[in-house]
Amino acid sequence: MPIYEYRCQSCNRKNSVLSRSFGAPTDLACSFCGGVELRRIYSPVAYHRSESDRISELDTSRPQGEDYYKDSRNVGLWAKKRLKEMGQDLGPQFDEIVENARSGKLTGVDD
Ligand SMILES: [Zn+2]
């Protein structure tokens, strides 16, 4: 289920709303002040960052939470960065493996 985020125009706080249907929720009220003027927050930032930006922001000293990998674009980044930090040459084959992992395909399995 998608989560929609809204900024309350009265108190300026952020409301996260879990949608139970396919569309964005309507008739919302701020859960802090009860205000009804909520503006949808879009987060375009994540979509415009390149993979190298994502890799440089990634903290490999700790494991990423489950939510991190709900974004399939993040799949493989941790491994990529760790391997680079260890001085491994990844080569194009690794990109292919990551691409397959992102699209849900298994590698090395014939069907
Ligand atoms: Zn409010």
Distance from the alpha carbon of residue 68 to the mean position of ligand 1, in angstroms: 28
The tokens for 78 are: 């941790």
Helix or strand (DSSP H, E) at 110: none
Q: What is the DSSP letter of 7?
A: E
CA of 71 from ligand 1 middle (Å) equals 29
The tokens for 53 are 């930006």
What is the pLDDT, as a whole number, of residue 100?
Answer: 82
Taken in order of first residue, the domains within the chain and their CATH numbers are: 3-41 (2.20.28), 48-102 (no CATH)
Tens of each residue's pLDDT in the chain, 111 residues = 677 889 999 999 999 888 776 666 778 899 999 999 999 887 655 556 688 888 888 888 887 777 877 877 887 888 888 888 888 777 778 788 888 888 876 555 555
Give the DSSP H/E element, type plus range, for residue 51.
helix 51-57
What's the gap in Å between 24 CA and the centre of ligand 1? 19
- Which pLDDT value is given to residue 86? 85
